[in-house]
Amino acid sequence: MTALVITVTSILSFPCFAFASSYEDELRAKGFPESYIQKLTVLHNKYPNWIFEPLMTNLDWQTAVNGERSLHSNQLIQNISSYDTSMFCSCPRCYVNGKYVVQESSNWVSASESAVQYYMDPRNWLDEQHIFQFESTSYDGTQPKEGVEAILYGTWMYDSLITYRTTGGSVKLYDSTTKYSDVIMKAANDSGMSAYYLASKIRQENGGATASASAVNGTVSPFQGIYNYFNIGAYTGAPDGLAWAAGFLKLNNNSTLYSDYDTATGTVTGTATPIYAGQYMTWRANKGNYYYVRLYNEVNGKYVEGASGYVLQSDCRTKYMGDTDTGLGRPWTNPYKAIYYGAKYIARSFKTQSSGYLQKFNVNPASSNLHTNEYMKNVAAASSEAVSTYNGYAKANILGVTKRFVIPVFNNMPNEIIITGFSLSALGEGYATLAWNNTNGAISYQVQMLSNGQWVDYTTVSSPAVTVYGLIPGQEYKFRVRAVVQNGSEIKYGTYSNELSVSTVISKVSGVKATSGNDYITLKWNTAKNATGYYIYIYSTARKTYRIYKTVNGGGTTSVKLTGLKPNKSYKFKVKAFATCNGKVYKATASNSISVKTKNNVVSLSSAKSSKAKKITVKWKKVSGVTGYQVMWSTSSNFKKNFLSVKVKGASKTSTTLTTSKSKKTYYVRVRAYKTAKGKTTYFPWSNKIKLKVK
């Protein structure tokens, strides 16, 4: 069986460092195959403090896959509609009467060989998120509590004190200072496990916005008040794990269950009920020489609760209880015990399985039980837990610190099948068309889109192109794709490509209109969908190009008044919508240009007469929206010498009387409006001139 690995060329690029080739040689010297080196080099270029070490399994690839599938029920996958059916095993034992056999819970079925190959092949997970399934789970004293809190973010455990339900059902605070992150840090230190690994494991197994999961809510009958944060022993579901966490307390010999206990005398009272050797029970409390217990039986795979009462401690088997190597502090009657001793159990049970990957696929040659003793049956568990770890590191801003990754290498690993040319071929306001080169033997391509930090299936297509609809204009989206190849009856899955970033187009602004005043122009336009603002461009006759004149913030703002313009002048404008997303600005195509001229507000000079010596009476027509008028008189027709002027304040003023220095002399008169705003005075064009002789 040959597994599929895909590499792609995308519009994303990584910097080329001077040491790239030497680092590649370093990876080769360590023993990494060529199919690992390019991806690890990309990661090293981005995170130079990360350390990559090969784990030489000395196992033949297909032999390892067969070993992991020796029991199909040990490799499970959820039967959900978003998965291709080729992910599910269709052998005669796993597919019966047209249905996939449910192995656990309501929809967990056996994974197909190709699905196991896909999740087992380390080369499929050498990206900055999924690489963390190879991070060493050994204790690292540099991991701070803040990093643990970051991993727990979004769950009820984040920055929270430990609260729980007792075996009697009451809600209790563990103490006034201890938070979930505190016990994880303590468990890591004492067990020799990575605190980040423990936090990620808990989140993967039982994380949620509330403590509603069966293994952590303390209400599941008959194990009320019992907790199992790591789901240890939960082979067919949470109740199995709770039975494990309760310590399998049972009778060694026939005994009696008493309904009451007299604390004052230390004797049992009430109804006495015979119970028999082999009876299982859950511990509730210690009472003198007695245990207060809750009886239960397992019937048809389900746990059935019986009566509660008091039984002699000496009649009970306590092999799997107590603070011993075997007991590991059971029963785990509060979250602190479940987390602290659970970490010790993992450390003891998985000494040679020191990564999330190895705990799912036990291929370490140092292990005495290859392909068994695996923590979880979920074939995708290691990869999904890795994303939780990555998100925690990213939130805590500690992705770049030193980390050690131990990555398995197999003999006779399959050759890579390469996809090339993954790129954007068309882009519109609400859609993007992605395309890539055809892959030989591909029967389909699976396309995923990044949503809320998680990759989700978008569609499966049969040809090497897809148009993604329903995108919001002015937003950035990320996509990746992998091929599904058929060789005879074998279905093989490739690695997902590097992500392709696509910024969608914003609507072109339409309906631009303009009105003008003497020193301003008002522009109006239609709303551009999903815009966060608009750029106003003005045409420069000197540069013969458009430049940004003003920025209008707010996608719902559809008008702007442009002031400080010159009267009686023509201007050309364009409007361009923009949107901001993740700190980036995306611009639409500019609108069509619009030309508009400011008003001149030229004063109409009505008359200029002299009825008295050295006096001129001047009259003009009112101009609205101005501050006043300037009247000039001169003996020169071009007003360049022998001139005087006076300001007449008030837009409603329409006349004034001038005094000349000479009589019996020819004078010329003209008038213009002016406007003062914010300390700046704007003068409008001069009126026509009138020639007269002063008396």
CA dist list (Å): 65 to 91, 108, 190, 417? 16, 20, 35, 19
CA 142 to chain centre: 26
pLDDT on residue 474:
73
| Pair 364, 373: CB distance under 8 Å | no
Higher pLDDT, 195 or 496: 195
Bond prior to 331 in cis (omega within 30° of 0) = yes
The pLDDT tens digits of the residues spanning 198-222 come to 998 898 789 889 999 999 999 999 9
Instruction: Report the alpha-carbon distance of residue 400 to residue 50 in Å, rounded.
Output: 7
Report the distance separating Cα 656 and Cα 639, nearest Å: 19
The per-residue pLDDT for 519 is 79
Average pLDDT estimate for 446-458: 88
Q: Judge residue 407's burial from the number of C-beta atoms within 10 Å of its C-beta, 0-12 exposed, 13-18 middle, 19 or more buried.
A: buried
Both tokens assigned to 144: 């701070």
Handedness of CA 39, 40, 41, 43 (dihedral sign): positive
pLDDT of residue 20: 41
> For residue 261, what pLDDT is reported?
97
Residues 6+ apart with CB under 8 A from 673: 518, 601, 602, 603, 623, 626, 628, 629, 630, 651, 683, 684
Residue bearing the bigger pLDDT, 237 or 619: 619
In single-letter form, the type of residue at position 294 comes to R
Token readout for 433 is 């068309």
pLDDT in tens, 309-335: 999 999 999 999 998 888 999 999 999
Q: What is the mean pLDDT of residues 617-632?
A: 92
Q: Is 432 helix (H, G, I), strand (E, B) or coil?
A: strand
Q: Which stretch of 144-153, 557-566, 581-590 has the lowest confidence by average pLDDT?
A: 581-590
Report residue 667's pLDDT band, with 50, 70 and 90 as the boundaries. Answer: very high
| The predicted structure's pLDDT at residue 82 | 67
678 contacts: CB under 8 Å, gap ≥ 6:
none
Give the Å distances, CA to CA, from 147 to 127, 197, 307. Answer: 21, 11, 45
CA distance 669 to 645: 10
CA-nearest of 619, 610, 571 to 693 is 610
Report whether 198 contacts 343 (CB < 8 A). yes
Q: Residue 10: its pLDDT value, please?
A: 31
Confidence tier at 493 by pLDDT (50, 70, 90): confident
pLDDT of 414? 83
252 or 389, higher pLDDT: 252
Q: Which of 130-144, 228-242, 491-505 has the lowest mean pLDDT?
A: 491-505
| Among 573, 516, 571, residue whose Cα is nearest residue 550 | 573
- What is the spatial distance between Cα 311 and Cα 333, in angstroms, rounded to a whole number? 19
Q: Under DSSP, is residue 516 helix (H, G, I), strand (E, B) or coil?
A: strand
Strands 50-60 and 403-411: parallel
Those residues with Cβ within 8 angstroms of residue 212's Cβ, 6 or more apart along the chain or in another chain: none
Summary mean pLDDT of the chain:
90
C-alpha pair distances (Å), 57 with each of 31, 54, 144: 12, 9, 32
Contact 268/257 with Cβ under 8 angstroms?
A: no
Q: Which residue has the tokens 């004034």?
A: 656
Residues 355-381: tens digit of each pLDDT: 999 999 999 999 988 999 998 899 999
Contact partners, residue 565, CB within 8 Å, separation at least 6: 519, 520, 521, 571, 598
For 319, phi then psi, to 5°, come to -55, -40
Could you give the C-alpha distances from 82 to 135, 468, 543, in angstroms and in order? 29, 17, 56
Q: Please report the pLDDT score of residue 684 as a whole number.
A: 85
The average pLDDT across 273-281 equals 97
pLDDT band for position 444 (cuts 50, 70, 90): very high
Of the candidates 500, 503, 451, 457, which has an alpha carbon nearest to the alpha carbon of residue 8? Answer: 500
Cα separation, 151 vs 391, in Å, equals 7
Residue 574 pLDDT exceeds 70: yes
Q: Is the pLDDT assigned to residue 337 strictly greater than 90?
A: yes
Handedness of CA 176, 180, 185, 187 (dihedral sign): positive
75-84 residue pLDDT tens: 999 998 767 7
Is residue 582 very low, low, confident or very high in pLDDT (cuts 50, 70, 90)?
Answer: low
Q: What is the pLDDT of residue 52?
A: 97
Residue 25 CB contacts under 8 Å (≥ 6 apart), including other chains: none
* Contact of 123 with 5, CB cutoff 8 Å: yes
User: For residues 564 and 411, which has the higher predicted lDDT (pLDDT)?
Assistant: 411
Burial 272-297 (b: 16+ CB within 10 A, else e): eeebeeebbbbbbeebeebbbbbbbe
d(CA 136, CA 405): 6
Give yes or no for residue 689 having a pLDDT over 70: yes
- First-to-last alpha carbon distance for the chain, in angstroms, is 117
Where residue 264 falls among pLDDT bands split at 50, 70, 90? very high
The band of 567, judged by pLDDT with boundaries at 50, 70 and 90, is confident
Query: Is the confidence at residue 100, as pLDDT, over 50?
Result: yes
d(CA 269, CA 279): 21
User: 200 — phi, psi (to 5°)?
Assistant: -65, -40
Query: Count of residues for the chain?
Result: 695
- Which amino acid makes up residue 181? S
Q: Between the CA atoms of 568, 574, 580 and 584, what dihedral angle is there, to the nearest 10 degrees?
A: -100
Note the pLDDT of residue 668. 96
Dihedral sign of CA atoms 76, 81, 86, 89 in order = positive
* Host H or E run for residue 399: none
The answer, yes or no, to whether residue 509 has pLDDT greater than 50, is yes
* Token pair of 196 as six digits: 């980040």
What pLDDT digit, counting tens, does each position of 401-439 carry?
788 999 999 999 987 777 778 998 887 777 889 999 988
pLDDT at 284 over 70: yes
